Amino acid sequence: MSTGHPTYRGRLAPSPTGFLHLGHARTFWTAWRRARAAGGRLVLRNDDLDRDRVRPEFIRGFLEDLRWLGLDWDEGPDCGGPLRPYSQSERMSHYATVLAQLRAGGWIYPCTCSRRDILSAVAAPHAGDEEPVYPGSCRGRKLEELPAGTRFSWRFRVPDGGSVGFTDARLGPQVFVAGRDFGDFIVWRHDGLPAYQLACVSDDIAMQITEVVRGADLLASTARQLLLYRALGAEPPGFFHGPLVTDESGVRLAKRHESLSLRALRAQGRTPEELCAGWECASV
């Protein structure tokens, strides 16, 4: 029943590995504003794949903090919706299907390198976490040729020298070169968990997201993800990369900036109106 004019569908995708800080708040507020301005729908997705770091109080925490901020959503783990489930930990069969599709298309290969970055692939590589370009050591490997019991991850083969371009709704034209700006990347970890890039793209497709709003530190991940959309034969959404919030010395906010967590700010008597007013001015 395609009308050719799909309704705007946006998403908020918090990772419950800590409490939300001002940087998350700004991104989520922007995503909410854009969805509401477009008369669209907003999905809340619980990105809870990182089982070593996820804690239930952080899930309760983001629900409470987002509501305190004044945001609302139409589908999510707390309110359900037609494309449920909305928690990534409950969507494993879905990711397995996408992995099988990538395998069938010959887009991925088993990588036996056991580096720390393979383990960290479950989380989105925010600024400063970008891994060095993978040298392609395992490119020629075939699953059938690995000795039984070998531990391996699945890696996506990027087209070396190929450019990946897109027009960001805030920043304008962007171009990344595969093999230079990023290399072959992990889509499935050897411990059986999908990597952030695969889980995110699978869900953004399945949840029919038409625009992804995220921080500008994920621009290179967007480029990787566009290669996944291509490989899966799926139409990519639009992208809006919002400004990053930094502390007074210009460092991007991270979990260690506890004083800038929404709950700390709330405890200090700051109001959501005050926080959002500043972003409002900056976004027009």
Active site members? 255
214 binds, among ligand GLU, Zn ion, none (CB under 5 to 8 A by kind): ligand GLU
- Minimum CB distance to ligand GLU smaller for 21 or for 155: 21
Q: How far is the CB of 14 from ligand GLU (least distance, A)?
A: 6
Cα 68 to Cα 26: distance, rounded to the nearest angstrom? 13
138 binds, among ligand GLU, Zn ion, none (CB under 5 to 8 A by kind): Zn ion
Question: According to the binding rule CB under 5 A, does residue 133 interact with Zn ion?
Answer: no
Cα 71 to Cα 237: distance, rounded to the nearest angstrom? 22
Question: According to the binding rule CB under 6 A, does residue 47 interact with ligand GLU?
Answer: yes
Cis peptide before 85 (omega within 30 of 0): yes
Q: Which of 9, 214, 224, 241 binds ligand GLU (CB under 6 A)?
A: 214
Question: According to the binding rule CB under 6 A, does residue 88 interact with ligand GLU?
Answer: no
Binding segment for Zn ion (CB under 5 A), chosen from 26-34, 46-54, 112-120, 226-234, is 112-120
Question: According to the binding rule CB under 6 A, does residue 46 interact with ligand GLU?
Answer: no
47 binds, among ligand GLU, Zn ion, none (CB under 5 to 8 A by kind): ligand GLU
- Minimum CB distance to Zn ion smaller for 113 or for 146: 113
195 binds, among ligand GLU, Zn ion, none (CB under 5 to 8 A by kind): none
Cα 47 to Cα 18: distance, rounded to the nearest angstrom? 12
Whose CA is closest to 176, among 225, 127, 213? 225
Q: Which of 59, 83, 92, 113 binds Zn ion (CB under 5 A)?
A: 113
Question: According to the binding rule CB under 5 A, does residue 138 interact with Zn ion?
Answer: yes
Alpha-carbon separation of residue 114 from 74, 117, 118, 152, 269 (angstroms): 41, 8, 7, 8, 47
97: exposed, middle or buried (Cβ count in 10 Å: 0-12, 13-18, 19+): exposed
What is the H or E stretch that residue 230 is in?
Answer: helix 219-232
Torsion of Cα atoms, 177 then 181 then 184 then 190, to 10°: -150
20 binds, among ligand GLU, Zn ion, none (CB under 5 to 8 A by kind): none
Gap between the terminal Cα atoms of the chain: 35
123: exposed, middle or buried (Cβ count in 10 Å: 0-12, 13-18, 19+): middle
Question: According to the binding rule CB under 6 A, does residue 124 interact with ligand GLU?
Answer: yes
Q: Which of 13, 42, 44, 219 binds ligand GLU (CB under 6 A)?
A: 13
Eight-class DSSP state of 16: S
Question: According to the binding rule CB under 6 A, does residue 15 interact with ligand GLU?
Answer: yes
Q: How far is the CB of 34 from ligand GLU (least distance, A)?
A: 13
Beta bridge partners of 173: 167
Which residues of this protein are in contact with ligand GLU, per CB under 6 A?
A: 13, 15, 47, 124, 200, 214, 218
Which residues of this protein are in contact with Zn ion, per CB under 5 A?
A: 111, 113, 137-138
